[in-house]
Structure 1
Amino acid sequence: MQIHSLGLNICEEEFSLIGIHTTLEDYKLAYVLNKKLATRFCKNKEDLTFGKENKQASFSIFNYVNKTYDFEWFLIANSSRKENQTISKELLLSSETKSYLIPEKKKVDFFIKITGNIQYTYIVETIQKIKAIDQVITSYSIDKNTLKSKDFLIF
């Protein structure tokens, strides 16, 4: 008796990931990257949002499409801050909740996700250009296979 099996070929999205440490705000970083890398990052109309109704985290996201080389770039904030206000005995108390897109990389401020089949030398050159920016502390390549939360980067 012959046994037939069907293999599921689950296709993972091919992308490279760069981590950036900086004190810049998201829009300022996008502006500086546009000047240094000759990109055209534009803010998405909607942020990347995760969570339930009362516990949502929203991460800013910028996007750039290079039609010549068939690359799509995303500049994604790794942290989200939410202010919580409560009223207690006529006092207005506020606290802040901080959430991370990739919790195992809490020190990373922003990620650049580049989709497509990209040569490693191109990623290294891009990292060197990012490191040359005065306001950037450091930048480096991140192996997506080591991340537990990499599913949050698939959108």
Structure 2
Amino acid sequence: MQIHSLGLNICEEEYSLIGIHTTLEDYKLAYVLNKNLGTRFYKSKEDLSFGKMKQQASFSIFNYSNKKYDFEWFLIANSSKRENQAVSNELLLSSETKTYLIPEKKKVDFFVKITGNVKYSFVVETIQKIKTINQVITSYSIDKNTLKSKDFLIF
């Protein structure tokens, strides 16, 4: 009896990840990155969404494609806020629930994901340019292999 086996090569997507700490809103950060990096981030038609009906988390995402270097960039919010309302003794009480895309990096406000085979020197240069932006507190490279929730960054 002959046994056939199929080899399955699971190829992990190659990308670099930059963490950004800032108090800016997503659209303002996209604007200043476009201005300082020469990128053209635009708001994606759909947000990155996870969860069930009542516990939905939605993270804003901006895209930029660089055809010259064959890179694709994503600006991704790390947090999602949802307002909860409850009625108690004829009072309307509201609270806010904050969900994180990458829970082990709660202090990171945004991620810049650069897909493709990017040289480390290019990533370092990009980080330095981001650090020069007045409204950015800091930015740094994140080793994706240390993240437990890195699967949320594959889309």
Q: Same fold (TM over 0.5)?
A: yes
- Specify the SS of the correspondent of 1:129: helix
Query: Is residue 91 of structure 1 aligned with residue 91 of structure 2?
Result: yes
Query: Is residue 76 of structure 1 aligned with residue 76 of structure 2?
Result: yes
Per-residue displacement from partner, 1:85-137 (whole Å, max 9, x unpaired)? 11122110000000000000000000000000000000000000000001111
- In structure 2, distance between residues paired with 1:4 and 1:45: 44
- In structure 2, distance between residues paired with 1:87 and 1:2: 68
Query: Is residue 58 of structure 1 aligned with residue 47 of structure 2?
Result: no
Match for residue 12 of structure 1?
12
The CA RMSD measured in Å over matched residues stands at: 1.4
Q: How does 1:1-155 map to 2 (within 5 A)?
A: 6-155=6-155
Aligned AA (2:103): P
- Specify the SS of the correspondent of 1:74: strand
Q: TM-score, normalised by structure 1?
A: 0.96
Q: What is the number of equivalent residue pairs in this alignment?
A: 155
- In structure 2, distance between residues paired with 1:127 and 1:105: 18
- Percentage identity across paired residues of the two chains: 84
Q: Which runs of 5+ in 1 are unaligned?
A: none
Q: Which runs of 5+ in 2 are unaligned?
A: none
